[in-house]
């Protein structure tokens, strides 16, 4: 599971600027997907070999007793409770406020690993200028400038140094074990536990033992029609004896962690509710994670034709960025439409793990170029020379050649379409990277 870092502090100290700075490298991947709604409060980040989740908690007023501030305080507390380490951000220019003291008191009592960041410190000299922040009783002060990117790397390093993290594995290459790690994701009440219990009650399903998994871990290995699956710890659910129960508190962090540990995510929607913001956010995380995805609209039994059309339209517009995902309409309660979902999950897994050899990729590339040349850009015409596979789950195709920075997005989509068709890739994103040699 990825560790979680939470940014806490009063409004305007620069948390969201810092959040953007820390998560920046990932943004590029998803920047050009139309219709992608991102929840700006949660993001993935990577520094060195540590991959982690960052939460921006918004403004925190620990003493707020009513209204929106109390709601925010509640959410901040949940985020802090789920975090492995807290970065408490104060304003180096504005100095200390009563609110900072309140937050510090809360954090001290909590006893979570906490590092103190004095933001907006560009151009300030270390030493006496920051001494007042020692009053907070949270130890060393880390001057940073989120806006200018100064001190941010060492801040993150420092934050993780407080944790006893296991040495991260060598750039964990996705591995085709033949066992589909499956996460069922979705907001509360879409029917996750109903579906899982219906599935686990199926006669066709045979449990098997997976070495290394403990009994209490929420991970259920089973086999269905010759295909092995491992249902991994699914956000918002708890196993109680033989059945799954929905737990009250929905946790974005657990959802993110479940998505990250899966090969395939089944994203469940509720036909009676349509596509909500929260659905779109979860879908955005899945896209960003690169996992394979199957969409299922549940409670199909409970809607009429008009509502059905509406849901379909909403999926086309609001989840346009998941066009590659197969879509199924099901009823977990009435056990309708479930068979094809299994097939789609197994196919998405095979697509995510597809092996594509360099000669075949290169032949396809050259055929595609012959069919349609990339556009000339000023003096340059991109020259695409050969391609090889750079990863699995998601499959990555690396194209080598010259002036590749001038290849348009439209042309990349054209290539993607050709590769998808040839390798029959369904339900997985496909990443195409360009490597120009000079
Ligand atoms: P948040 O409310 O804590 O999320 O704060 P924001 O990230 O929205 O930043 C509040 C204001 O502080 C904005 O006007 C930012 O441009 C500014 N700001 C953020 N980081 C820095 C910094 O490192 N130096 C300076 N001088 N200003 C910053
Ligand atoms: P979870 O929070 O995602 O695990 O959702 P639950 O499985 O607890 O289901 C939430 C509610 O939706 C419960 O009242 C279920 O009975 C109901 N529900 C689940 N699946 C279906 C379905 O296929 N059709 C209908 N009409 N209701 C369903």
| Cα dihedral 191, 192, 197, 202 sign | positive
User: What are φ and ψ of residue 54, in 5° steps?
Assistant: -110, 135
Where in the sequence of the chain do the CATH 3.40.50.300 domains occur? 4-162, 180-353
The span from the CA of 23 to the CA of 326, in Å, is: 29
Instruction: Name the residue of 7, 12, 17, 142 to mutate for ligand 1: max ligand atoms within 8 A of Cβ.
Output: 17
3-state class of 31 per DSSP?
coil
Buried residues in 368-390 as b, exposed as e (16+ CB within 10 A): bbeeeebeeeeeeebebeebbbe
The span from the CA of 71 to the CA of 73, in Å, is: 5
Find out whether 246 is annotated in a ligand binding site: no
The span from the CA of 334 to the CA of 405, in Å, is: 52
For the CA of 298, the nearest ligand: 2
Q: What pLDDT was estimated at residue 257?
A: 86
The protein residue with its alpha carbon nearest to ligand 2, atom 24, reads 299
Fold of 180-353: Rossmann fold (3.40.50)
Instruction: List all residues 6 or more positions away from 304 whose beta carbon is below 8 Å from its beta carbon.
Output: none
Domain 358-436 has CATH 3.30.300.20: yes
Q: What pLDDT was estimated at residue 216?
A: 45
Averages of pLDDT over runs of 10 residues in the chain (438 residues) are 91 92 66 61 85 85 72 80 94 92 92 95 79 91 94 95 71 77 92 89 71 57 89 70 70 85 96 94 90 98 96 95 96 96 97 97 97 89 95 96 92 95 96 88
Find out whether 311 is annotated in a ligand binding site: no
By DSSP bridging, strand 50-56 and strand 42-47 are antiparallel
User: What are φ and ψ of residue 137, in 5° steps?
Assistant: 70, 30
Residue-by-residue DSSP string for 257-276: HHHHH-SEEEEEEETTTBS-
Say how many Å lie between the first and final Cα of the chain, rounded.
Answer: 39
For the CA of 235, the nearest ligand: 2
Where in the sequence of the chain do the CATH 3.30.300.20 domains occur? 358-436
Instruction: Name the residue of 185, 191, 231 to mutate for ligand 2: max ligand atoms within 8 A of Cβ.
Output: 191
| Cα dihedral 87, 290, 319, 2 sign | negative
Q: What pLDDT was estimated at residue 169?
A: 58
3-state class of 181 per DSSP?
strand
Domain 4-162 has CATH 3.40.50.300: yes
Instruction: Give me ligand 2 centre to Cα 298, in Å.
Output: 8
Question: Tell me, what's the ipTM?
Answer: 0.86
Report whether the peptide linkage leading into residue 394 is cis, meaning its omega lies within 30 degrees of zero.
yes
Q: Are 152 and 234 a contacting pair, CB within 8 Å?
A: no
Q: What pLDDT was estimated at residue 215?
A: 46
What angle, rounded to 10 degrees, do the helices at 192-200 and 338-352 form? 90
Instruction: Name the residue of 8, 14, 22 to mutate for ligand 1: max ligand atoms within 8 A of Cβ.
Output: 14
Instruction: Give me ligand 2 centre to Cα 269, in Å.
Output: 11
């Amino acid at each position: 599971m990825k560790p979680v870092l939470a940014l806490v502090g009063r409004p305007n100290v620069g948390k969201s600027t810092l959040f953007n700075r820390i998560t920046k490298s990932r943004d590029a991947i998803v920047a050009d997907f139309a219709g992608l709604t991102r929840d700006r409060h949660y993001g993935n980040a990577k520094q060195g070999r540590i991959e982690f989740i960052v939460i921006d908690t918004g403004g925190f007023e620990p003493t707020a007793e009513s209204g929106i501030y109390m709601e925010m305080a509640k959410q901040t507390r949940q985020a802090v409770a789920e975090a492995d380490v807290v970065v408490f951000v104060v304003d180096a220019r504005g100095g200390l406020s009563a609110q900072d003291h309140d937050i510090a008191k809360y954090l001290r009592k909590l006893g979570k690993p906490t590092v103190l960041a004095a933001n907006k410190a560009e151009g300030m000299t270390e030493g006496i200028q920051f001494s007042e922040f020692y009053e907070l009783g949270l130890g060393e002060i880390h001057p940073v400038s989120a806006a200018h990117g100064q001190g941010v790397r060492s801040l993150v390093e420092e934050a993780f140094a407080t944790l006893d993290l296991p040495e991260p594995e060598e750039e964990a290459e996705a591995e085709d074990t033949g066992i589909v790690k499956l996460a069922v994701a979705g907001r509360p009440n879409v029917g996750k536990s109903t579906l899982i219990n219906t599935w686990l009650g199926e006669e066709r399903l045979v449990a098997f033992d997976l070495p290394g998994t403990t009994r209490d871990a929420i991970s259920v290995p089973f086999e269905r029609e010759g295909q092995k699956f491992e249902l991994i710890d699914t956000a918002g659910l708890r196993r109680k004896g033989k059945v799954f129960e929905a737990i009250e508190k929905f946790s974005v962090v657990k959802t993110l962690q479940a998505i990250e540990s899966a090969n395939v995510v089944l994203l469940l929607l509720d036909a009676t509710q349509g596509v909500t913001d929260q659905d779109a956010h979860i879908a955005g995380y899945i896209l960003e994670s690169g996992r394979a995805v199957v969409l299922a609209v549940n409670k199909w039994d409970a809607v009429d034709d008009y509502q059905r059309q509406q849901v379909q339209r909403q999926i086309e517009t609001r989840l346009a960025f998941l066009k590659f995902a197969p879509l199924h309409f099901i009823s977990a309660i009435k056990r309708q439409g479930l068979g094809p979902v299994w097939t789609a999950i197994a196919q998405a897994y095979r697509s995510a793990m597809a092996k594509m050899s360099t000669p075949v990729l290169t032949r396809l590339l050259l055929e595609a170029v012959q069919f349609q040349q990339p556009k000339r850009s000023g003096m340059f015409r991109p020259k695409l020379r050969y391609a090889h596979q750079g990863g699995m789950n998601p499959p990555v195709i690396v194209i080598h050649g010259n002036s590749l920075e001038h290849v348009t997005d439209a042309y990349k989509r054209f290539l993607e379409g050709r590769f998808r068709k040839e390798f029959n890739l369904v339900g997985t994103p496909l990443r195409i990277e360009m490597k120009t040699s000079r």
